[in-house]
Structure 1
């Protein structure tokens, strides 16, 4: 197949890496990054209509959309209008991530368990709701896309009110904060569960845990994600069953009723409270860095899984997952997540240890290539991924690989997967 992958981060690199190992595809990235050139061909066509025409002329058999913005902007609709096979939700279905208000109202309408909330554009209404809340912390969310940063966990009612005011005034997140969601804080542990959907059928991937905060022990500000591992031992068959019956099935049925059948990756942010899964949020694409650790766990060819998802044929697929664990450690630039950093050359030592060589790899994200050298140019630069028969073995291998990677100002957390290894 000829396959086009939209996006430029570690998520898109890891999808391309998995497909490249199938040895039978020509892969294109739009726009890709400095390292995706080693897996396929980078192109630069930002206009979606022009891109669809290019895909048609180049006989692209499958397009896979990585990030949320093109989905919300309707790239899937444009490609389908041109009779192209594309994996991802329509613009109407992508509102599950594009609008937190829409998402929360879908959860409420179809009786999907979620935190008590109010959605409003009225500052006084939000403040009144906060005054009547019994407990703190309080969660305040901007309605629109904020690159994963539009959520404030306020430790006091005054802090929550200030967050609401900053969002509604446009000071915090511009137009994305024109409407806000204020909701109760759920005390439990968080899971990332991913379902590959074709509108009616679905396949569930192993549950992962992401590490959002910049510092060890979950300290400091939130980031796009500093590491992840899967499968997590904090989920069991009972939780999977509850998520399928109470969440995935009613969501797919509800979206069909809304005239926006859901196709693509449904990322379910779950908080488990006393054994009960409560839904924090939906995203309409893979998480990053969860994607980097999930792709290598698939025994089923990634291209086949996505193609059957895009052609409403998941029912015919018997998905197979490797019997091992995967741990990913993000290496970030010096000033991340506070500000941009100076470009820095990346040097990877020659790996002579067979154990590391055969059980790890790097997924590249914020990198550019110049004169055959890779430079760290993004906040999150790359992910060192390790595999093993236990989480500890996978983590040890991932960190051993981290020790082989060098660039000025590099930093990473030293405790990825600590929840599972306590």
Structure 2
């Protein structure tokens, strides 16, 4: 099988790594890929979706897997299907679950799926009136895609009003903020739940937890994610059942009723409050860095999972996972998430520790190949992933690997999976 992965980050590298180990896969393409995906397959510098679909047809690519949200929201799946190509991901209409937070919240309301109380508006006076009804902290969200940065958790009513005004004026996020959602703050802990769907059937993957804040102790600004681990002990069978019955199943059924069957990955960002799950947001693709810790746990061949989802055959698949834990630690560049950093050569020490070599690996993200050398050129540069029989063991391997990686200005959190370790200790 020939497979193409659309995207250039750590998520796409992790998918490529899983496909590389897959006996069904003979050739992998990345569009556009990064400086390190060249080790796994061929990079394709075609950004136009029509041209990319023609390339896939000419090269006999059997399946395309879409990593990021932007191509999905822009309709890449619809274009590939027009050419009779198999592609894993939701259609443009289905991708509105992430492309428009207002569409998503109204969908949740219509199908009685638990979520925070909210208002959606383009009028500042309406936003301000609702803010006055709430007790801080207060959540303000831009409607459109903002690369994971369109959510403000305001600590006062004044800050919430300033955030709403900044979005509605176009100053904060341009057209993405022309309409906003103001919602009550849910106080609990977050979980990332992923369901692979084929429009009717779905398979729920082990629950993961992401660490959004830049600094230890969940301090500092929100980022695209500074680390993740899976599976998490913060969930039990009872909670899995509530999530499936109240959230995943009604979403898949609701989308079908809307005439927009959901295919691809449904990523539910949940808040668990007093043992009850609430939807914070939907994303229409794997999370990053959650994908980097889920892929190594997948025992079922990745190509089989993606292909059966893309061809409406998920009901014939028994999905299996290794009885292990994975922890991923993001190593970011000096100025992340505030601005760009100078390119810096990446030096990786030779790994002489046999177990570390077997139990840990790197997923490369913001890297470029310059004159045969790998440079850190992005915000989140790479993810060090450790695999273990316990979360602590997996975390130890991940952090041992961070000690082998060097580039100027590197930074990372030192407390990834701290909540899980606290649960295990108690």
State the Cα distance separating 1:5 from its structure 2 match.
Answer: 0.5
User: TM-score normalized by structure 2?
Assistant: 0.98
2:350 is aligned to 350
1:300 is aligned to 300
2:64 is aligned to 63
3-state secondary structure, aligned to 1:217: helix
1:38 is aligned to 39
How far apart, CA to CA, are the structure 1 residues paired with 2:406 and 2:249?
46
3-state secondary structure, aligned to 1:27: strand
- Give the gaps of 5 or more residues in structure 2: none
3-state secondary structure, aligned to 1:111: coil
CA contact (8 A) 1:252 1:261 kept: yes
Q: Show the 5 A alignment for 1:15-54.
A: 15-23=15-23, 24-54=25-55
1:326-372 deviation digits (Å, cap 9, x = unpaired): 00000000111111000000011000101101100000000001222
State the Cα distance separating 1:132 from its structure 2 match.
Answer: 1.6
1:277 is aligned to 277
1:74 is aligned to 75
Q: Show the 5 A alignment for 1:2-13.
A: 2-13=2-13
3-state secondary structure, aligned to 2:395: helix
State the Cα distance separating 1:120 from its structure 2 match.
Answer: 0.5
2:226 aligned with 1:226: yes
1:266-288 deviation digits (Å, cap 9, x = unpaired): 00001000000011000000000
Q: Show the 5 A alignment for 1:250-269.
A: 250-269=250-269
3-state secondary structure, aligned to 1:337: coil
3-state secondary structure, aligned to 1:245: helix
3-state secondary structure, aligned to 2:272: strand
State the Cα distance separating 1:258 from its structure 2 match.
Answer: 1.1
Alignment root-mean-square deviation, CA:
0.6
2:269 aligned with 1:288: no
3-state secondary structure, aligned to 2:50: helix
Q: Show the 5 A alignment for 1:80-91.
A: 80-91=81-92
2:365 is aligned to 365
Q: Show the 5 A alignment for 1:55-134.
A: 55-133=56-134
CA contact (8 A) 1:19 1:25 kept: no
State the Cα distance separating 1:196 from its structure 2 match.
Answer: 0.2
1:138-178 deviation digits (Å, cap 9, x = unpaired): 00000000000000000011111111100000010000000
3-state secondary structure, aligned to 1:96: helix
State the Cα distance separating 1:241 from its structure 2 match.
Answer: 0.6
1:161-206 deviation digits (Å, cap 9, x = unpaired): 1111000000100000000000000000000000000000000000
How far apart, CA to CA, are the structure 2 residues paired with 1:372 and 1:238?
52
How far apart, CA to CA, are the structure 2 residues paired with 1:132 and 1:371?
58
How far apart, CA to CA, are the structure 1 residues paired with 2:381 and 2:123?
40
State the Cα distance separating 1:401 from its structure 2 match.
Answer: 0.4
Runs (4+) off by over 6 Å: none
1:204-235 deviation digits (Å, cap 9, x = unpaired): 00000000011000110000000000000001
1:199 is aligned to 199
3-state secondary structure, aligned to 2:217: coil
How far apart, CA to CA, are the structure 2 residues paired with 1:107 and 1:289?
26
State the Cα distance separating 1:22 from its structure 2 match.
Answer: 1.4
2:393 is aligned to 393
How far apart, CA to CA, are the structure 1 residues paired with 2:130 and 2:337?
32
2:154 is aligned to 154
How far apart, CA to CA, are the structure 2 residues paired with 1:48 and 1:396?
42
How far apart, CA to CA, are the structure 2 residues paired with 1:106 and 1:88?
19
How far apart, CA to CA, are the structure 2 residues paired with 1:347 and 1:159?
43
1:238-257 deviation digits (Å, cap 9, x = unpaired): 11111111111111111111
How far apart, CA to CA, are the structure 1 residues paired with 2:368 and 2:62?
28
1:273-317 deviation digits (Å, cap 9, x = unpaired): 000001100000000000000000000011100000100000000
1:244 is aligned to 244
CA contact (8 A) 1:188 1:274 kept: yes
CA contact (8 A) 1:64 1:87 kept: yes
How far apart, CA to CA, are the structure 1 residues paired with 2:144 and 2:26?
36
2:312 aligned with 1:317: no
3-state secondary structure, aligned to 2:64: strand
How far apart, CA to CA, are the structure 1 residues paired with 2:169 and 2:284?
27
3-state secondary structure, aligned to 2:147: coil
State the Cα distance separating 1:136 from its structure 2 match.
Answer: 1.1
1:348-403 deviation digits (Å, cap 9, x = unpaired): 10001011011000000000012221000000000000000000000000000000
